[in-house]
């Protein structure tokens, strides 16, 4: 992999990833002023969760026509000046977190209960290909491997940034999920705090270690492999499975066989197999209903400075589609109480994913 850095017209960083050398970045011809994102975080005193408030994001680009796609290369609306690219990552023009966010008072309305902090962090867009009509599932394995290498590179870079506590790599696909751009891409968030899901997993992993002396993620993987009923696909380094307590009608986890805290820590053989198995899982998902499945695919990584011996890197992929013509909406139990109800038994969806034709 060859990494080439450049800057966009407003000073945001853009990084190209190629399989070989020779790229000379094209200067950004646009007349852009430096953005001033307004990001802040407020702590919910009832749950302890941080909620991010972004006053500028309501004006972000929303489902433009293909000829105005900002992720297609070289066009008048493009964020990517070059005429072509393999994989590219750049700072989001409408970030949820930014190092350019202004400082804010430490309290909301001066009230001690309402903690407040600047939304310092970083948000990047990762484009998987310059082909507007492609999908990650249909890219060749060597391109998926380049995407994996780019994810690992950016995880390492953002983890080294001051003030970033956790790095989250993810892809949203499908209008049902709420995407605002159709071009095949994902995102990376560098959070200034540890997310609620991660805090909960760390607490569970710590309690499990205290009680049993074991590795929670390793023990879960061993139990899934021993049962076998929810295994989708397995290799030398990775296993894909539907978790026993899946929340979503379609949900799959992809977990390495050894303890790895984040993408940057993966070896070459682990990355190579990941490119193959991840693409296979995506293709099986698309084969479920004979149409591209709307999904969120997020890499759960250990925080930057703590819990790296407790939380194992793993992918969580889930979809809101519960049948060919039905969408799961979060109702009162899920939205109001975070108490999930799944209409599809995990064993059933695992069997369907195993039987799905990834070549279809």
Instruction: Look at residue 198 and give its three-state secondary structure.
Output: helix
Helix H or strand E encompassing 43? strand 39-43
Q: Which member of 185, 237, 253, 314 is catalytic?
A: 185
Contact call for residues 345 and 250 (beta carbons, < 8 A): no
Write down the pLDDT at residue 61: 84
Instruction: Compute the mean pLDDT over every residue in the chain, rounded to the nearest whole number.
Output: 96
What band does 359 get if pLDDT is binned at 50, 70 and 90?
Answer: confident
Look at 26-35, 278-287, 344-353 and tell me which has the smallest mean pLDDT: 26-35
Note the pLDDT of residue 56.
85
- pLDDT interval class at 267 (50, 70, 90): very high
pLDDT, tens digit (0-9, with 9 covering 90-100), for 187-218: 999 999 999 999 999 999 999 999 999 999 99
259 pLDDT band, cuts 50/70/90, is very high
Q: Model's pTM, two decimal places?
A: 0.97
Tens digits of per-residue pLDDT, 49-75?
999 999 888 878 889 998 899 999 987
Mean pLDDT of 74-99: 94
Question: Are 99 and 171 within 8 A, CB to CB?
Answer: no
The Cα–Cα gap between 42 and 13 comes to: 28
> Does residue 18 sit in helix, strand or coil?
strand
User: What per-residue confidence (pLDDT) applies to 21?
Assistant: 96
H-helix or E-strand containing 299? strand 295-300
Decide if 50 contacts 75 (C-beta within 8 A).
Answer: no
Tokens of 322: 């519960």
Q: What is the predicted pLDDT for the residue at 76? A: 79
Distance, CA of 42 to CA of 124 (rounded, Å): 22
Report, as an integer, the average pLDDT of 243-254.
Answer: 98
**Domains of the chain listed by start with CATH number:** 2-195 (3.30.428.10), 197-355 (3.30.428.10)
**Quick one: which of 173, 315, 291, 311 has its CA closest to 241?**
315
* Averaged pLDDT for residues 36-51: 96
**Is 132 part of the annotated catalytic residue set?**
no
Q: Residues 41, 192: contact at Cβ < 8 Å?
A: yes
């Amino acid at each position: 992999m060859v990494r080439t850095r450049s800057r966009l017209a407003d000073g945001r960083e853009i990084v190209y990833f190629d399989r070989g050398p020779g790229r000379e970045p094209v200067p950004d011809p646009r007349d852009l002023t430096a953005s001033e994102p307004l990001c802040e975080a407020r702590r919910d005193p009832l749950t302890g969760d941080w909620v991010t408030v972004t006053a500028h994001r309501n004006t972000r680009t929303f489902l433009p026509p293909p000829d105005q796609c900002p992720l297609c290369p070289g066009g008048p609306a493009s964020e990517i000046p070059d005429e072509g690219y393999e994989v590219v990552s750049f700072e989001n023009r409408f970030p949820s977190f930014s190092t350019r966010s202004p400082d804010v008072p430490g309290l909301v309305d001066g009230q001690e209960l309402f903690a407040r902090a600047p939304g310092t962090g970083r948000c990047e867009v990762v484009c998987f290909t310059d082909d507007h009509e492609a999908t990650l599932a249909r890219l060749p394995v060597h391109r998926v491997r380049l995407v994996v290498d780019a994810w690992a590179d950016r995880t390492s870079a953002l983890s080294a940034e001051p003030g970033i506590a956790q790095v989250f790599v993810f892809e949203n696909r499908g209008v049902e999920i709420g995407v605002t751009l159709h071009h095949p891409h994902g995102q990376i968030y560098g959070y200034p705090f540890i997310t609620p899901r991660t805090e909960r997993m760390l607490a569970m992993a710590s309690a499990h270690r205290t009680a049993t002396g074991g590795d929670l993620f390793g023990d879960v993987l061993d139990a899934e492999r021993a049962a076998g009923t929810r295994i989708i696909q397995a290799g030398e380094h990775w296993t894909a499975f539907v978790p026993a307590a899946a929340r979503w009608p379609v949900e799959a986890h992809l977990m390495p066989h050894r303890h790895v805290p984040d993408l940057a820590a993966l070896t070459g053989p682990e990355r190579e197999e990941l490119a193959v198995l991840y693409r296979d899982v995506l293709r099986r998902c698309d084969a479920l209903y004979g149409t591209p499945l709307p999904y969120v695919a997020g890499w759960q990584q250990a925080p930057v400075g703590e819990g790296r011996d407790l939380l194992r890197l793993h992918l969580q992929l889930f979809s809101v589609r519960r049948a060919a013509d039905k969408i799961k909406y979060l109702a009162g139990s899920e939205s109001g109480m975070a108490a999930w109800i799944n209409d599809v038994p995990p064993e059933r969806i695992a069997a369907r994913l195993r039987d799905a034709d990834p070549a279809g």
